[in-house]
Structure 1
Amino acid sequence: MSARGISKVYGGTRALNSVDFDIRAGKVTVLYGENGAGKSTLMRIMSGVESPTAGTLTLDGEEVTFASPAQAEARGVAIIHQELNLSANMTVAESIFLGREIKRFGFVDTKEQVRRTQAVLDLLEEPIDPRATISNLRLGQQQLVEIARALDEDARVLIMDEPTSALSATEVEVLFRVIRDLTDKGVAIVYISHHLDETLEIGDHAVVFRDGELVATAEMRDIDLKWIVSAMVGRSTDDMFTVIDAAVGDTVLEVDGLTVADPTQPGRLAVDDLSLSVRAGEVVGIYGLMGAGRTELFETLIGRNRAQAGSVRLFGRDVTNTSIGDRIARGMYLVPEDRQKDGLVQGQSVGANLSLASVTRFTRLGITDGKAERSRNADVIGSVRVKASSQGAPIGSLSGGNQQKVVVGKALLTEPQLILLDEPTRGVDIGAKADIFKFMAELAGSGVGVLFATSEVAEVLNSTTRILVMSRGRVAAEFTPASATREAVLAAADDSELVELEHQQMETEGAAE
């Protein structure tokens, strides 16, 4: 499949500028670029989600026009979107066959849909019940459902836009085996990921976008991580992390014996007798695999989940049973893992999303001071470097990384004294990651306590003052960045398969260098 001279203009913004792009049968073409570079826009055009302003698409040498994703799927072109697109109230099987239901005698053949769903989940080696409701699945499991849906479509061209952003390393390994099986059968795959190390492992051909234009191409065997980063943003990977220079002050958060039930698995504890503390000026990183209990911990700290036992104290005050609003008012704020579901209101503008959690600061006698609100929003947009045409732009018009910056900026507007960040760099490019780590370091420097969770070892090793490792709902180990190693952190996470995989990745990286 090929794109020739593809351009896309939104209002006065040119997202793509006369792009040529080729997808090869039986190969994985990795598409690189910062958020807003135009990658997802091109993929939406090639999969029928959007129409180009100019340019043509060809499939097997024949010019094609897709008026909808259904038309693209009918020609064998499928896409796994960066942002999850599932109906929360449906079952896994219903979600996979939504819009293409299997029918018998005019009725949906539920039994056959469940059978085929189970088959594709078995291929992914994921123990998800096809009859489970989507809302009861963790984010990583929902991402696997999206992947399963695309695999069942038996596509000839498969576009994967950030397919692993919420997956564990073990699940990524399984997905890569599936990808190689598909390419062996001649399927052409486009792979987009901000996990640059994994792209070196799975890719055959590299293409780099910058500011809506194709700027570089190469065979994967001829490049390394430094080449990718330089082509994308013109900066070194060494520039990603900001040195934390902050005086450590009084304790802002004390968690003692916290126990929380797992909302997705009755009878299981998501957080099990956990204790920790965070002081002003600290950046405490929590590393753990999917299912370790990190998200459940954070949602309990902010008041979304109810604790079965234990206590949460903020500045010495017990807030275990207080509301979310009370905790925000007292200086705590959570940047959630799932920005689409929990961090943003899609029908609102950039500015409205930014000030949503702090609008009372600009309101008096029921009247909002719009000028003051816009002025403060502008300060935050500049601080976290949001790229948007205006505060009035729809939030959905922003790239994933810029949407994440809006979620972070919304937290900043509440003037937090303790900020919780759950996977703050999920699905964002290296430039946006650097901005987020700089933001965290600046908060610590101003005396704010920072607690963040990540599934990337490099992040806790390079952007913290203290490291906690969670496993099975508990703190399994504690390190300082000076004493921690990748191997020690992985071993504490208690997954021997992951340790072996990481060793293999390090050997691959060493060979590439």
Structure 2
Amino acid sequence: MTRPPDGPSTLLLDMRDIQKRFAGIPALADASLSVRSGEVHALIGQNGAGKSTLIKVLTGYYRKDAGQVLFEGEPFEVHSPHQAQVNGISTIYQEINLVPLRSVTENICLGREQRRYGLLDWNAMHAEAERLLSRFAIGIDVRRPLGEFNTATQQMVAIARAIGFSARLVIMDEPTSSLDEREVGVLFSVIHQLKAEGVSVIFVSHKLDELYEVCDQVTIMRDGRTVRSAAMEEIGKLELVAAMLGRDVAAVEGHATAFGERDRAGIGDVMFSARGLGAGQAVRNVSFDLRRGEIAGFAGLLGAGRTETARLVFGADRSSAGQMTMEGAAYHPDRPADAIAAGMGFCTEDRKGEGIVPEMTVAENLTLALLPKISRNGVLDDSRQREIVERFIRELGIKCSGPNQKVRELSGGNQQKVLLARWLAMNPKLLILDEPTRGIDVGAKGEIQRLIRRLADQGLGVLMISSELEEVIEGADRIFVLRDGVSVTELEAEAANEEKVLTAMAHGTGASSEATT
């Protein structure tokens, strides 16, 4: 790992060789982060890289297992975020953690209330709240409940609250996720003000353009380690993305997955089409097609809008713009049941949180979506369920002691097979797979990849989202690259390589119209 060069500003924060384990599994391994006074420092990495854990160690949410933290040159260890705040470190979380039923003033001044003659000095606190918000060019009635204002305003209130603690270091976790373009500009001007006043900012964001606009230094994390620290001007976007993903910019030779070669002659006509999909800032303009028997891959960094787009397709969220068609007919799902009725299935990326029901058996999990079809008058047809479950255990090679084993007792790969079987039992036409091989061992990963290819060969349309470049490049027949909620590039399998995908992820190569056929 390279460290930032010495400069005229003093070192405010120095975290060295930080280690943290959960149930014996390392979440941080020799992670480091150094921030100078008056510096805006980007902290980036993919999901699971360790960014949030490192911040929580710093702010007292977690206790480190090993390593050293120096703040303003002194050993620093706190046991709660409030204690960190009192000692000069304020954190603004992506999920707004304020009190919506309390007034704007109460939220901004919470924990540092002003008093006069032993009573709360409301006039002074209202004036303080108005002064802090004026830095954001926001003039609102600070006496009104926070919950009456939109999310963007609430985000600004959270930032104003952090600034109000006279922090020496402000940590901003995805602060622009709820802001429009004008509000982002205002936020950046405030960051520049803080920098001029000698306040440091740790800026966590997956929007690369924002990093280059506002940050001086960058620290890149991967797999719980700090892999690089450099000046923003010294590292290009392509190099930045490659470091985040642990890839060489040059194309990788050979095959890293079990998808194998594919004869694309069996791919049929367009089955599903989306044009100009939008839903807030997460999905702004996404277009793509999916053909029968085709694996279409979504590539992009975390925050690019891949999962959010899949949720729109499946009806888990409502789209606010664009059109979709399924088998040539207009398609606008209001809920997942509409998507299922249209012949879709969706394996979520959060296998444990949104996929399996841990205390249910393999049989119960596998047939969960199928229950209405194998029940009569509310009574389950046990023999029909057993027949289906045994068939999929056999065909997918699910390793379990039997249909009645608790699904939580299975390995991650076998849990994933149960989820796949749940949707395959519905005989779908289109299957959405969000990170289908995340968190499973190499052997099970190969089995899942071969199964996905076999399903496509049998005519199933597959939309596959993966953060592993080799999985998308070697597994997909076409790749759609998303960036900041926009589909920027469509690549046919024959023309796709890591450099092209990384370039599109880093820079974008045009408008969403390029991702149409």
TM-score tier by shorter-chain length is 0.5 to 0.7
Matched, 1:193 2:205: yes
Using a 3 Å threshold, how does the CA distance of structure 1 residues 128 and 57 change in structure 2: closer, same or farther? same
Task: Answer whether contact 2:207 2:484 (CA < 8 A) is retained.
Answer: no
In 2, distance between residues paired with 1:371 and 1:179? Answer: 51
> Would the alpha carbon gap of residues 417 and 180 (structure 1) be closer, same or farther in structure 2, given more than 3 Å must change?
farther
Match of 1:156?
A: 168
Query: Counterparts in 2 of 1:407-422, with a 5 A limit?
Result: none
Q: Is the 8 A contact 1:334 1:419 kept in 2?
A: no
**Within 2, Cα distance between the matches of 1:347 and 1:320?**
23
Superposed displacement of residue 298, structure 1: 7.2
Contact map agreement 2:49 2:225 (CA 8 A) in 1: yes
Q: What is the aligned partner in structure 2 of residue 12 from structure 1? A: 24
- Name the SS of the counterpart of 2:221 in structure 1: strand
Paired letter, 1:55: G
Q: State the distance in 2 between where 1:113 and 1:345 align.
A: 45
2:96·2:155 contact (CA, 8 Å) conserved in 1? Answer: no
Conservation of the 8 A alpha-carbon contact between 2:488 and 2:508: no
Counterpart of 1:188, as a letter, is: S
The one-character-per-residue Cα deviations of 1:75-115 (angstroms, maximum 9, x if unpaired) are 1101223x414368546727844852746665694994597
Sort the Cα spacing of 1:11 and 1:233 in 2 relative to 1 into closer, same or farther, 3 A: same
Conserved? CA contact 2:89–2:169, under 8 Å: yes
Structure 1 position 320, deviation (Å):
6.3
d(CA) in 1 for partners of 2:178, 2:48: 21
Mean Cα deviation higher: 37-46 or 102-111: 102-111
Partner SS state of residue 21, structure 1: strand
1:5: Cα distance to partner? 3.7
Output the CA distance in 1 between the equivalents of 2:74 and 2:481.
50
Q: CA 1:129/1:13 → structure 2, altered by over 3 Å: closer, same or farther?
A: farther
Name 2:104's counterpart in structure 1.
93
Pick from 476, 480, 489 the counterpart of residue 461 of structure 1: 489
1:360 aligns with 2:363: no
Q: Distance in 2 between matches of 1:136 and 1:351?
A: 39
* SS of 2:489 mapped into structure 1: helix
CA distance change for structure 1 residues 118 and 251 in 2, over 3 Å: closer, same or farther? Answer: farther
Task: Look up the match of 2:189.
Answer: 177
Given the alignment of the two structures, is residue 116 of structure 1 paired with residue 129 of structure 2, yes or no?
Answer: yes
Structure-2 separation of matches of 1:297 and 1:233 = 22
Partner of 1:66: 78
Offset at residue 27 of structure 1 (A): 1.1
Distance verdict in 2 for CA 1:119–1:157, change over 3 Å: closer
Aligned length: 412
Paired residues for 1:129-168 under 5 Å: 131=144, 134=147, 137=150, 143-168=155-180
Partner SS, residue 461 of structure 1:
strand
Aligned to 2:497: none
2:4 is matched with none
Q: Corresponding residue for 1:39?
A: 51
**1:318-329 counterparts in 2 under 5 A?**
324-329=336-341
- Give the Å deviation of 1:442: 5.6
Task: Report the identity percentage.
Answer: 25
Distance apart, 1:69 and its partner CA: 0.6
Cα distance in 1, alignment partners of residues 14 and 207 from structure 2:
25
Shift of 1:12: 1.5
Tell me which residue corresponds to 1:468: none
Task: Indicate yes or no: 2:219 matched with 1:207.
Answer: yes
Residue 315 of structure 2 corresponds to which residue in structure 1?
A: 302
Q: Contact 2:295/2:476 (CA < 8 Å) preserved in 1?
A: no
Q: How far, CA to CA, are the matches of 1:452 and 1:227 in structure 2?
A: 17
> Radius of gyration: which is bigger?
2
Correspondences of 1:367-446 after superposition (within 5 Å) = 369-370=404-405, 374=410, 376-379=414-417, 384-387=436-439, 432=467, 434=469
Q: Distance in 1 between matches of 2:86 and 2:189?
A: 26
Post-superposition offset of 1:180: 1.5
Whole-angstrom distance in 2 between the partners of 1:452 and 1:63: 45
SS in 1 for 2:75: strand
Residue type matched to 1:330 in 2? A
Q: Which runs of 5 or more structure 2 residues have no equivalent in the other structure? A: 1-12, 253-261, 299-307, 372-379, 387-402, 421-432, 442-451, 494-506
Q: 1:332 to 1:69 in 2, by over 3 A?
A: same
Conserved in 1, the CA contact under 8 Å of 2:356 and 2:407? no
2:367 and 2:138 map into 1 onto residues whose CA distance is: 43
Aligned partners of 1:2 and 1:23 also within 8 Å = yes
- The answer to whether the Cα contact below 8 Å between 2:217 and 2:230 also exists between their aligned partners in 1 is yes
SS at 2:415's partner residue? helix
SS of corresponding position for 1:182: helix
The residue identity in structure 2 corresponding to 1:223 is: I
1:157–1:246 CA distance, 2 compared to 1 (3 A): farther
Deviation at 1:24, TM superposition (A): 0.8
- Cα gap change, 1:221 to 1:135, in 2 (>3 Å): same
Deviations 1:234-257 (A, max 9, x none): 4256879xxx9978855656899x
Q: Are residues 1:57 and 2:69 paired? A: yes
**2:304 paired residue number:** none
Change (3 A) 1:442 1:205: same
Distance in 2 of aligned mates of 1:141 and 1:245 = 53
State the Cα distance separating 1:10 from its structure 2 match: 1.2
Q: Distance in 1 between matches of 2:227 and 2:218?
A: 11
Output one character per residue of 1:321-345: Cα deviation in whole Å (capped at 9) or x when no partner: 9754243343346899xx9xxx899
